[in-house]
Structure 1
Amino acid sequence: MRQGTKLMYAVVAISLLLAACKGMTKTQKGAIIGTTSGAAIGGVIGRASGNTALGTIIGAAVGGTAGVLIGKQMDKQAEEIKKQVPNAKVERVGEGIEIEFESKVLFDFDASGLKTEAKTSLNELATVLKKYPDTNIEIQGHTDNKGSDAYNESLSQRRANAVMMYLIDKGIQLSRMNPKPMGENYPKYSNDTEEGRSQNRRVEFLITANEKMKSDAQKQAGSSK
């Protein structure tokens, strides 16, 4: 069977699995998804669905009992972020956390310099991130569809880099972070209206377990058997 066909079946299988898991908690979903998928499948799902957060977080999943333990830690961290960072949209996804900042909170139009209110929000986020050092943080820059593809990719990279550099200044280790330019390729909102375009000009944080957290969870899962 061709690799492309295998991946197509995997995407369909995961889609059916997610539909069947509607009644479950985010933590329970994470345990199942992690057991049935890996980095390659996560990447395919992310591209197919247009949801890069879903793809990244599924790709980093451990699954099983260890995945449940990681999910519980992520539950706690997500609740703290919701309380500490009122300007952010926070969602638990599988074994990870997705955080979205609208660009108007962080930057002026067509600019990559952080606004004063942006620094306040990032200060609040950094406070929580420092309490949970065993996580990886992907920082995605997104734009609307105005301008050329090349310009939008460059702008999204500058914005992701600006956020990363500010967090480094606030004590978050560089090794934990990965800035990624997404350009205009993954809109969450309609680019047909000014409001939708404004919402697409955003930065997203994808928080997943690092190798230490995964190892600790697997050891804990093994000792509880």
Structure 2
Amino acid sequence: MKKIIIPILVLMTVIAGCKTSQSQKKSNLNKTEKGAIIGTSSGAVIGGIIGNKKNNTALGAILGATVGGAVGVVIGNKMDKQAKKIQDELGNAAKVERVGEGIKLTFDSQLLFDFGKATLKESNKDDLWKLANTLKQYPDTDLLIVGHTDNVGSESFNQTLSKKRANAVSNELTSSGISRNRLKIKGKGENQPTETNDSDAGRTQNRRVEIAIYANNKMKTEANKEAI
């Protein structure tokens, strides 16, 4: 029994020493080095997102604004707080996703608009006002609003409709106090479906408005100072 216990104790001591050594090395890393490690891991995740969602304009805007490294970690922490606030305010009115260093919101178009129309429903304007109130608390972000449709109707009609819907959301946020300088819009029509258009359920999913929220230059500059 002693012959068995002693080697086990020695092995446990060696493992503990290795863990301590690793912990000491980690504690000696500066913010940039830690950020680089986290940034590398995030890069793998983002790479997967690009591979799976390369045909999504909102995700492209977020990934295009990515900084990475320690600065990206700081921005990500800020976005975590903002995303939670938005989720708390909107509840089930929108799907809130944290992606890389940004936030992606998805509104079901049928909740905001009547079928084939681009005029916001009065009953659902409150959700955009709630979003605007949160955005005011986080002024150092920019937004890209992207309209999408199903394939019912002509391609040109859907393209125009999607852009009008994105513009309607933008105008509502502006009237709620969000600076127009923070907002960009795009209409993608029926060109970026998330589901098949061969069923009612799929077409419903494809009728949507997506909003990409990402760091502006001011946030990136401040995050760079914090990361040093």
Which TM-score tier does this pair reach, normalised by the shorter chain?
A: 0.7 to 0.9
The 3 A distance-change label for structure 1 pair 30 and 183 is farther
Aligned partner of 1:184 in structure 2 is 190
Mapping 1:101-180, distance limit 5 Å: 101-180=107-186
State the one-letter code of the partner of 1:169.
S
Check whether the contact 1:100–1:203 (CA below 8 A) recurs between aligned residues: yes
Aligned partner of 2:84 in structure 1 is 79
Taking the aligned partners of 1:187 and 1:205, their CA distance within structure 2 comes to 16
Mapping 1:56-95, distance limit 5 Å: 56-86=61-91, 87-95=93-101
Taking the aligned partners of 1:30 and 1:170, their CA distance within structure 2 comes to 37
Deviation at 1:49, TM superposition (A): 2.9
The 3 A distance-change label for structure 1 pair 109 and 207 is same
Q: Secondary structure at the match of 2:188?
A: strand
Mapping 1:18-33, distance limit 5 Å: 31-32=39-40
State the one-letter code of the partner of 1:143.
T
TM-score by length of 2: 0.77
Cα shift readout 1:12-56 (whole Å, capped 9, x = no counterpart) = xxxxxxxxxxxxxxx9998338879xxxx9xxx489732333322
Check whether the contact 1:46–1:54 (CA below 8 A) recurs between aligned residues: no
Q: Which runs of 5+ in 2 are unaligned?
A: 1-34
State the one-letter code of the partner of 2:124.
A
Where relative contact order (Cα < 8 A, 6+ residues apart) is larger, the structure is 2
Check whether the contact 2:58–2:144 (CA below 8 A) recurs between aligned residues: no
Cα shift readout 1:78-132 (whole Å, capped 9, x = no counterpart) = 0011110021100000000000000111000000000023201101111111100
Per mean C-alpha deviation after superposition, the further-off stretch among 104-113 and 191-200 is: 191-200
State the one-letter code of the partner of 1:85.
L
Q: Secondary structure at the match of 1:183?
A: coil
Deviation at 1:182, TM superposition (A): 1.0
Taking the aligned partners of 2:68 and 2:89, their CA distance within structure 1 comes to 29
Q: Secondary structure at the match of 1:171?
A: coil
Taking the aligned partners of 1:131 and 1:31, their CA distance within structure 2 comes to 27
Check whether the contact 1:168–1:174 (CA below 8 A) recurs between aligned residues: yes
Taking the aligned partners of 1:28 and 1:76, their CA distance within structure 2 comes to 22
Check whether the contact 1:34–1:62 (CA below 8 A) recurs between aligned residues: no
Taking the aligned partners of 1:28 and 1:169, their CA distance within structure 2 comes to 40
Taking the aligned partners of 1:167 and 1:216, their CA distance within structure 2 comes to 25
State the one-letter code of the partner of 1:32.
T
Taking the aligned partners of 1:64 and 1:144, their CA distance within structure 2 comes to 38
